[in-house]
Amino acid sequence: MATSEPPTSAEAFDASKMSKAPSKFLRNAPQDTPAVRVGFVNAAVGYGLFAARDLRKDEFIFHEAPLLTALFNEKFSSDKNLVQSQHAAYRNALVDGNRDVVTLAFPRLAARNGFAPLPFDDAHTVLETALGKNLVHGQFGGSTVTREQYEAYTSKLDATAAPSEDDCRRACLDFFKHYAFEVNKGPTAAAAVLPITAAAAAAVVPATRDACIYLLGSLINHCCTPPSHGFAFGRGGEMGPNCEWRIGPSGLAQFIRPKHICVQAKRDIKKGEQLTWDYGKRFKGFVCECSTCRDSFMGYYCGVL
């Protein structure tokens, strides 16, 4: 199996599993009301996650199991085993009634794999309910994507007719490059990572890292961090990314399961505001449309222009 086992039901947050030491990260239980919704940014950026209510600084927003796990592509190479593992992880995720949710969460990848977008009425039901299915803590508030937005977006995503295996693999490679998180291999990783064939298994160089994709976590868009010298002036309000994340258990938050992602508010976030984080210095491969770039001269700095 390429996917980690998704949670069967949301768990109560057990504060006793937290270290007694004060932690800035994940100190509080997530609230009982929905915290995030999926929404549409524009046709270039695609979907994003938005606050479903006001979120407080340091609020623990959600804890989510990975949807796909494959080998991590350190150098973005097209090494055969990496490509095979990422492609197989995607194909495996399409089984067991998962196909609609995976196709809808990542419609660009689906189109390159030959899957036509669902009609809006079906899509809406899935977007409303299923995108939160891997949450362990925190609540998903559904979708704000309108029929017009969905149809305008998907009409531009021509599903490739009968793509070759090679096209599908390349699409997965591009997808992992832009959507995957680099994750420490957990103790059970050997079962989660593919080899698809015995020959491929023998050839796999033991990697120390996995690449994980999340249904919600991988929909959070990038925002540049303004430089500390204050050169970037906003239109009022705070600038820069408003969330941070951790993957897997760490000293102060042992309850996080291996490869699971936890997201926390870096500052107060208003209802309706988009959740963002800084993707860091790695290759981004898109023209940045974040608010820091829009409201300041940061486009000059962010290195993606």
Specify the residue, 42 or 197, whose C-beta has the smaller distance to ligand SAM: 42
Q: Does 48 bind ligand SAM (CB under 6 A)?
A: yes
- Cβ proximity to ligand SAM: between 31 and 149 the closer is 149
- Rule CB under 6 A: say whether 178 interacts with ligand SAM: yes
Q: Which is nearer to ligand SAM, 47 or 62 (CB)?
A: 47
Binding to ligand SAM by CB under 6 A, coded x per residue (else -) over 261-290, reads -------------------------x-xxx
Residue 86 within binding range of ligand SAM, rule CB under 6 A: no
Number of neighbours of residue 271 by Cβ within 10 angstroms:
11
Backbone angles phi, psi at 169, to 5 degrees: -65, -45
Taking CB under 6 A as the criterion, the residue among 65, 127, 192, 219 binding ligand SAM is 219
For residue 251, CA distances in Å to 17, 91, 189 come to 11, 35, 20
b/e code 168-207 from CB counts within 10 Å (16+ = b): bbbbbbbbbbbbbbebebbeebeebbbbeeeeeeeebeeb
Taking the C-alpha atoms of residue 247 and residue 263, their distance in angstroms, rounded to an integer, is: 9
CB nearer to ligand SAM: give 107 or 138. 107
Which of 34, 46, 114, 142 is the binder for ligand SAM (CB under 6 A)? 46
Q: How many CB atoms lie within 10 A of CB 216?
A: 24
Q: Is 257 in the site for ligand SAM (CB under 6 A)?
A: no
| CB neighbourhood size of 235 (10 A) | 9
Nearer Cβ to ligand SAM, position 42 or 77? 42
Query: Which one of 137, 169, 185, 222 is in contact with ligand SAM (CB under 6 A)?
Result: 222
Report the half-sphere exposure of 145 (CA within 13 A, side-chain side): 32
Determine the residue with CB nearest ligand SAM.
46
Instruction: Please identify which residue in the block is written with the tokens 């992880």.
Output: 89
Among 47, 115, 175, 176, binds ligand SAM (CB under 6 A): 47
Q: Please say which residue, 192 or 298, places its beta carbon nearer to ligand SAM.
A: 298
* Total binding residues toward ligand SAM, as defined by CB under 6 A: 14
Pull the structure tokens for residue 187.
């103790």
Cβ neighbours around 125 below 10 Å, total: 14
User: Does 221 contact ligand SAM by CB under 6 A?
Assistant: yes
Q: Quote the crossing angle between the two packed helices 80-93 and 165-179, to the nearest 10°.
A: 90
Q: Which region among 119-127, 144-152, 184-192, 213-221 touches ligand SAM (by CB under 6 A)?
A: 213-221
Which residues here bind ligand SAM, judged by CB under 6 A?
Answer: 45-48, 178-179, 218-219, 221-222, 286, 288-290
